[in-house]
Amino acid sequence: MHLNENVIRWTLGLCLNLLLAFVLFRNRVYRRLPVFGVYLLVVIVCDFLSSGMRLLFPVRSAAIFYEFWTGQAVMIGARAAAVGEVCFQILSPYRGIWKLCRMFLAAVALVLLGCATYSAAGQPHLMTPFIMVLQRGLELAIVGTLAFALVFAMYYELKIPRFLMLITGGLLFYSAIQIANSQFMSTLRGPYHEAYAALSLFSFNIASLIWVVALWKPLPAMESAQAPSELGVSAPEVHARLRELNARLSEILR
Amino acid sequence: MITSPLFFVGLSAIVLVVAIWIVVRPLRAESKLGPDASAKIETLVAKHCTHFAQMRQALASEDIDFIRRRLPKKDAARLKQERLRALQKYLDAIGEDFARLDRMARILTSLSPKVERRDELERLRLEIQFRLLFRAARLRVLLGVGVGVPTLGHLADVVAGLSRQVESLSAWQQTAESS
């Protein structure tokens, strides 16, 4: 029964990966979102490698341990790069806003990464707590950067395409679950291991489903910000009205 | 022994949450305006704050003293209520003006190819200042205390500051459109 459940979960995960790969190539996602496309490919390759390794080696062997954590490191790195690309896609059509926000977003990511490294370095000399704390910090950096990008987008009322919203939602969902998961794992350790693996897989499958929905239709081309004339009135008219208003206000408030 | 620090930590947390809520939560006028793709930019110019002179006149303390001396208590109280109602309406109208200008500033900023960090921080400062002043003024009106001319002047000043900022932003848009 227990084995069947695991097999179902893995099979479901692999099927989702295949579906994701199909969508990725059918809609040529790598053209519009090259880094995110590479991230998805990395995930798919890592998942298949991991499944192959489990067939060749016993689950609790050193080879599986190092393969798993190396895969996690590569995937987190690729996801971090994909987050950078998603932020760019959300904010860059608005040139001024992008110039203003990119340094801020980079600073947020760097500070959170610094905090993660510092916390991980302070852990006792055991592999699992060190990795867990580092992973939690990295996920936090991903969530923080994406959240700030969304805050900027909401503040300036920027138009975010639906597929980008869904991709962002998937990334946020997976990272948020991973933060909680790593926290529980570093506290409860051994007894939580099975639940950790199951929750990781389950959350990733949900995120994959969200991404499949996001990428199902062909992706629209990148749009630049609306021209002033498309806003319904000519800029000189608005400017003249504002100048008149400001002159009156200065007179009144003198 | 331990209850006292816990009490103060809890109290500080509550105060912090309330303070953040006061500063961050948009005004009713801002929420009402909302992000509407069909909204035309010309509808976002301030309309009501220019009536400040009339409000200043209506709130002049000499007038209030004069009325208090001349009218029976009942009529004076009724008149006070009328003034508070007018004040409330004017406050709401100023809030609307601010929300409109703020929206216009955000739209123009999002279209601008060069956004100055200093200008954005200044706008954020004006926004926070206005929300604080506005909420305090509304609370005073709701409590029946009323608002003095200096407070109204402050509010109008903030709106004027934002309006000047929007004017410089629109000046850029004007050159972009003509080129």
* Partners of residue A156 in chain B, C-beta under 8 Å: 106, 109-110
pLDDT digits (tens, 9 = 90+) for B41-76: 666 666 677 777 777 777 776 666 777 777 787 887
pTM: 0.78
pLDDT at residue A150, rounded to an integer:
94
Cα separation, B24 vs A151, in Å, equals 12
* Partners of residue A245 in chain B, C-beta under 8 Å: 45-46, 50, 163
Domain assignment of residue B7, yes or no: no
A216 touches chain B (CB under 8 A): no
Are the CB atoms for B46 and B100 separated by under 8 Å? yes
Of residues A217 and B30, the one with the higher pLDDT is A217
Length of chain B: 179
Cα separation, B102 vs B113, in Å, equals 19
Q: For residue B164, what is the nearest residue in chain A, using CA coordinates?
A: A246
Domain count, chain B: 1
Contacting A residues, span 80-139, partner chain B, CB-CB under 8 Å: 94-97, 99-100
Are the CB atoms for A207 and A171 separated by under 8 Å? yes
pLDDT at residue A212, rounded to an integer:
93
Q: For residue B116, what is the nearest residue in chain A, using CA coordinates?
A: A100
- Indicate if the pLDDT at residue B149 is higher than 70: yes
ipTM over 0.85: no
* Partners of residue B104 in chain A, C-beta under 8 Å: 238
Q: What percent of chain B has pLDDT over 90?
A: 2
Domain assignment of residue B10, yes or no: no
- Indicate if the pLDDT at residue B123 is higher than 80: yes
Neighbour tally for A10: CB within 10 Å: 15
* Residues 6+ away with beta carbon under 8 Å from B53: A252
Q: What is the mean pLDDT of residues B127-142?
A: 88
Angle between helices B73-111 and B149-178 (to 10 degrees): 20
Q: What is the mean pLDDT of each run of 10 residues along chain A (254 residues)?
A: 66 86 90 92 89 84 86 88 94 90 91 86 72 84 93 89 94 92 78 81 91 91 65 64 74 69
Neighbour tally for A1: CB within 10 Å: 4
* Partners of residue A234 in chain B, C-beta under 8 Å: 177
Domain assignment of residue B4, yes or no: no
* Partners of residue A241 in chain B, C-beta under 8 Å: 42, 45
Domain assignment of residue B57, yes or no: yes
- How many Å lie between the alpha carbon of A235 and the closest alpha carbon of chain B? 5
Domain boundaries, given as residue ranges, for chain A: 2-223, 227-254
pLDDT at residue A225, rounded to an integer:
67
Are the CB atoms for A14 and A201 separated by under 8 Å? no
Residue B112, judged by CB atoms within 10 A of its CB (0-12, 13-18, 19+), counts as buried
- Indicate if the pLDDT at residue B174 is higher than 70: no
Say if the Cβ atoms of B174 and A239 lie within 8 Å.
yes
Residue A79, judged by CB atoms within 10 A of its CB (0-12, 13-18, 19+), counts as buried
Domain of B167, in residue numbers: 27-178
Q: What is the mean pLDDT of residues B72-96?
A: 83
Q: What is the mean pLDDT of residues B10-28?
A: 85
* Residues 6+ away with beta carbon under 8 Å from B133: B151, B154, B155, B158
pLDDT band with cut points at 50, 70 and 90 for residue B114: confident
- Composition of chain A by helix, strand, coil, percent to 5: 85, 0, 15
pLDDT at residue A1, rounded to an integer:
45
Domain assignment of residue B100, yes or no: yes
Domain assignment of residue B39, yes or no: yes
A223 touches chain B (CB under 8 A): no
Domain assignment of residue B136, yes or no: yes
Which among A96, A226, A238 is the nearest to B113, CB-wise?
A: A96
